[in-house]
């Protein structure tokens, strides 16, 4: 078994423990029963150095998932999605996400999409949207979550935020970084989020 595969197996096990610890995740979706290893190649980005240096404070429940994510970072297929025109140069250097499981994930699933995202301190992720419904869970650090038509929430480890289909939302970090584990359900799982026009 390759190091990458063993590391991702540990991450998937830690993600399942996280899922079992958070009722909001269990209510959002069943744990997928169609997971198969997809063997996607690593795509390193500068976000790895920032995540490694400043992963943010976890709590007792999220620490094992945070540490499994740190171990996986060098092997992950990191994506940036946005252009410099949309989010700026600094954002693209200190942000990144990868798909642990889903239609184009390290583990293939058609039932759900599980992604991991990181933002360094002092970043603003402007209003964006997507068809699938979404549940953010905060693994470490903190962020301010804004959603059209709902109250703004500042969330730390163990916090969750639900985003309805195509409802624009945004987030920002202040003095701490933010590491999140995100679930998507519903139609359009393979599409990327897009900035709200
Ligand atoms: Fe979203």
Every domain of the chain and the residues it spans = 3-30+42-187
CA of 3 from ligand 1 middle (Å) equals 31
CA of 182 from ligand 1 middle (Å) equals 9
The helix/strand count (H/E) of the chain reads as 6, 12
> Looking at the whole model, is its pTM more than 0.95?
yes
Coil/strand/helix, residue 68: helix
Q: Is the dihedral of CA 31, 37, 43, 45 positive or negative?
A: positive
Chain centroid offset of residue 30 CA = 18
CA of 190 from ligand 1 middle (Å) equals 13
CA of 71 from ligand 1 middle (Å) equals 25
pLDDT at 89: 96
State mean pLDDT over 31-54.
97
Q: Which CATH architecture has domain 3-30+42-187?
A: Sandwich (2.60)
pLDDT at 1: 57
pLDDT at 138: 98
Q: Decide if 98 contacts 116 (C-beta within 8 A).
A: yes
CA of 115 from ligand 1 middle (Å) equals 11
For residue 188 the two structure tokens come to 């359009």
Tens of pLDDT, residue by residue over 126-182, are 999 999 999 999 999 999 999 999 999 999 999 999 999 999 999 999 999 999 999
CA of 48 from ligand 1 middle (Å) equals 21
CA of 30 from ligand 1 middle (Å) equals 19
CA of 188 from ligand 1 middle (Å) equals 13
The whole-angstrom separation of Cα 147 and Cα 179 is: 19
| Band (194; pLDDT cuts 50, 70, 90) | very high
The whole-angstrom separation of Cα 117 and Cα 121 is: 13
| Band (186; pLDDT cuts 50, 70, 90) | very high
CA of 38 from ligand 1 middle (Å) equals 24
State mean pLDDT over 11-35.
98
CA of 149 from ligand 1 middle (Å) equals 15
pLDDT at 162: 98
Question: Does pLDDT of 190 surpass 90?
Answer: yes
State mean pLDDT over 52-69.
98
The whole-angstrom separation of Cα 28 and Cα 48 is: 29
CA of 163 from ligand 1 middle (Å) equals 7
Q: Are strands 124-129 and 153-155 parallel, antiparallel or unpaired?
A: unpaired
Tens of pLDDT, residue by residue over 73-126, are 999 999 999 999 999 999 999 999 999 999 999 999 999 999 999 999 999 999
């Amino acid at each position: 078994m390759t190091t990458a595969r063993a590391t991702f197996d540990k991450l998937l096990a830690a993600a399942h423990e996280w899922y079992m610890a958070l009722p909001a995740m269990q209510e959002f979706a069943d744990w997928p029963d169609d997971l198969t290893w997809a063997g996607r190649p690593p795509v390193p980005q500068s976000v790895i150095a920032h995540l490694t240096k400043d992963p943010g404070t976890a709590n007792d429940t999220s620490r094992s998932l945070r540490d499994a994510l740190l171990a996986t970072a060098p092997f992950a297929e990191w994506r940036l999605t946005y252009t410099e025109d949309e989010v700026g140069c600094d954002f693209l250097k200190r942000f990144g996400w990868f798909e642990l499981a889903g239609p184009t994930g390290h583990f293939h699933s058609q039932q759900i999409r599980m992604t991991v995202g990181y933002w360094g301190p002092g970043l603003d992720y402007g209003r964006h949207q997507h068809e699938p419904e979404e549940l953010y869970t905060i693994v470490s650090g903190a962020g301010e979550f804004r959603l059209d038509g709902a109250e703004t929430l500042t969330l730390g480890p163990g916090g969750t935020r639900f985003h309805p289909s195509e409802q624009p939302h945004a987030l920002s970090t202040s003095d701490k970084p933010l590491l999140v584990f995100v679930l998507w359900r519903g139609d359009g799982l393979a599409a990327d989020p897009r900035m709200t026009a």
